[in-house]
Structure 1
């Protein structure tokens, strides 16, 4: 019984510290309500303004097909997000991305073989 009360005391202390103390930053609560002139408030506001919104449509760099980004297969390369019409196109891109983007990229029109495979 003594061990149980010891455990409960420490559990309450840890909970209070995580909720209201320095652990509150981890949980997203902070030290208190931020005021408009507070530097912490301005950092949070700037972080909210910098959210990235994906385009509604993009061009698949492998086959040249226009894809809807909400249903496309995304991949990130060199800090940019690329969208693909199929898993096969994404895998081809991830195997050799320098062939499709950058200075040595191929600029060819879509081939019928690729278009037939994506239908």
Structure 2
């Protein structure tokens, strides 16, 4: 009978769904420069399980070199309604 490795029914019953797909948002804000970018043409990077989109390779490289710097700025911007206090 086999082990069921190729059985979709077994996967569905076990809670594993191989049909899940990541659908990127249409646009996102570059965390380095603040520009709104269309994700289909943007550079991207994954940090701490989150996907970030960038307007250029340079912004992506800056983010990858010090992501916490930009994430802290982003959090401050969200908490203060747009004003970053430094």
Fold shared per TM-score above 0.5? yes
List aligned pairs for 1:34-45, cutoff 5 A: 38-42=9-13
List aligned pairs for 1:74-93, cutoff 5 A: 74-93=44-63
TM-fit CA distance, 1:44: 8.2
Q: 2:17 matched to which residue of 1?
A: 46
Structure with higher helix content: 1
Q: TM-score, normalised by structure 1?
A: 0.52
TM-fit CA distance, 1:79: 0.3
In the alignment, structure 2 segments of 5+ residues that lack a partner are none
Q: 1:13 matched to which residue of 2?
A: none
How large is the Cα RMSD of the aligned pairs?
2.8
In the alignment, structure 1 segments of 5+ residues that lack a partner are 1-20, 110-119
**Rg bigger for which structure?**
1
TM-fit CA distance, 1:51: 1.8
1:41-75 per-residue CA deviation (whole Å, 9 max, x = no partner) reads: 44588332x32210010000000000000000000
Measure, in 2, the Cα distance between the counterparts of 1:42 and 1:52.
22
Residues 11 and 17 of structure 2 are in contact (CA less than 8 Å); yes or no, is this contact kept in structure 1?
no
Determine which structure has greater relative contact order: mean sequence separation of CA pairs < 8 Å that are 6+ residues apart, divided by chain length. Answer: 2
